[in-house]
Amino acid sequence: MALRGLGRRISIGKRCFSSASEVEKPPRDGKPINLFSAINQALHIALETDPRAYVFGEDVGFGGVFRCTTGLTDRFGRNRVFNTPLCEQGIAGFAIGLAAMGNRAIAEIQFADYIYPAFDQIVNEAAKFRYRSGNQFNCGGLTIRSPYGAVGHGGHYHSQSPEAFFCHVPGLKVVIPRSPQQAKGLLLACIRDPNPVVFFEPKWLYRLAVEEVPEHDYMLPLSQAEVTRQGSDITLVGWGAQLSVLEHACDEAAKDGISCELIDLRTLIPWDKETVEASVRKTGRLLVSHEAPVTGGFGAEISASIAECCFLRHGLQLEAPVARICGLDTPFPLVYEPFYMPTKNKVLDAIKTTVNY
């Protein structure tokens, strides 16, 4: 967040570690492509611009189960883009070691549901490396990308949203894009960021979301939320695939004369508290929505922080309790997915209740 003020010029050259960018909105030219193609483009650029960048994970060699790594092996060779055995703990540990030697390790965990064997490595090794070595060592070159979230029929182990577990770890960054254009810029920023980053990609959007994405190399700033829709009655905060659900809810609410402001958090930690705070001061109401279960989800952190700072001050205050429309407190169900999900109608109900509080 401090970097925002600096506005320094970045050189998108080889090996530079920086994610500060003065270009907030890249020019809207470019071909319409979907999310996995945008990620693919970002990976191509990352490997092109840094000869010591590596992409690896389960089944990435042939293009990956979601086609995100197509063409990389052919272009950059088996020494830079390779398959790993089926062991997430091994992948994470190996990636941390590679990054500790100054390389850019872009590891893929095939589904976020499988990230838990790697949890120890990420939380205990990656997040704390710089801290415990007094800045002698670091694994800043580490980026772990993983498809997360509901996909309509994924069931217990292909639909989870584990972002909250990682948000609880100082030393890590957690970034979630909402669309192809955002994904490419954010992923390049994550790869070049000098801190270990976990990048969750909403798998539902891999084919579904199509947007015009510029073909050149561009980055979007981390720790900067984006106000995607201006409004005055209530602030809605979300990330990833949930943004489109919130958009639809905003459109419906507008028919009832409720003007909603929509914020895409983009980086979950360290999160852009200032933007959300400024918005809530304007509207006086907040609603947070995410797919992960409501108890202990990241929405809880946002609610508590905003309640702390915006409860009552200088006449501008919270007019209603913070609403959280999230997944239910059950394991991600199989046939009950439509009941579990924070759907547009649930959000709409909450918007109306909060506005009429």
Partner 1 sequence: MAVSRLASSTSTLCKLLLRPLSAPPFYRSFSAAAAGDDQTVLTIETSVPFTGHKIDPPSRSVEATPKELLSFFRDMAVMRRMEIAADSLYKSKLIRGFCHLYDGQEAVAVGMEAAITKRDSIITAYRDHCIFLGRGGNLVEAFSELMGRRTGCSKGKGGSMHFYKKEAGFYGGHGIVGAQVPLGCGLAFAQKYSKDETVTFALYGDGAANQGQLFEALNISALWDLPVILVCENNHCECCEDFGVESEGNDRRKEWLMEMKIGSGCGADQVDGMDVLAVKQACKFAKEHVLKNGPIILEMDTYRYHGHSMSDPGSTYRTRDEITGVRQERDPIERVRKLILTHEIASASELKDIEKEIRKKVDEAIAQAKESPMPDPSELFADVYVKGYGVEAFGADRKEVKGVLP
User: Which active-site residues does the annotation give?
Assistant: 88, 158
DSSP 41-86: HHHHHHHHH-TTEEEEETTTTTT-TTSTTTTHHHHH-TTTEEE--S
| Choices 79-87, 100-108, 208-216, 311-319 (CB under 8 A): range interacting with partner 1 | 79-87
Does position 206 interact with partner 1 (CB under 8 A)? The reply is no
Distance in Å, CB of 60 to partner 1, minimum = 10
Residue 249 main-chain phi, psi, to 5 deg: -65, -40
Does position 97 interact with partner 1 (CB under 8 A)? The reply is no
Decide: 76 and 40 in contact? Cβ < 8 Å.
no
* CB-count exposure of residue 227 (10 Å: 0-12, 13-18, 19+): middle
| Dihedral-angle region of residue 26 (phi above 0 means left; psi in -120 to 50 means alpha; beta otherwise) | beta
Does position 300 interact with partner 1 (CB under 8 A)? The reply is no
Does position 304 interact with partner 1 (CB under 8 A)? The reply is no
For the chain, the helix, strand and coil percentages under 3-state DSSP, each to the nearest 5: 35, 20, 45
Cβ-based neighbour number of residue 214 at 10 Å = 16
Binding mask 239-278 for partner 1 (x = CB under 8 A): ----------------------------------------
Does position 125 interact with partner 1 (CB under 8 A)? The reply is no
Please identify which residue in 97, 102, 117, 194 interacts with partner 1, judged by CB under 8 A: 117
Please identify which residue in 10, 80, 89, 252 interacts with partner 1, judged by CB under 8 A: 89
Decide: 178 and 149 in contact? Cβ < 8 Å.
no
Which tokens hold the place of 332?
């991600």
Decide: 224 and 272 in contact? Cβ < 8 Å.
yes
Distance in Å, CB of 83 to partner 1, minimum = 6
With CB under 8 A as the rule, give the number of residues binding partner 1.
40
| Choices 10-18, 23-31, 55-63, 95-103 (CB under 8 A): range interacting with partner 1 | 55-63
Residues in contact with partner 1 by the rule CB under 8 A = 58-59, 61-62, 65, 83, 85-87, 89-90, 113-114, 116-117, 153-158, 321, 323-325, 328-331, 333-336, 339-340, 346, 349-350, 353-354
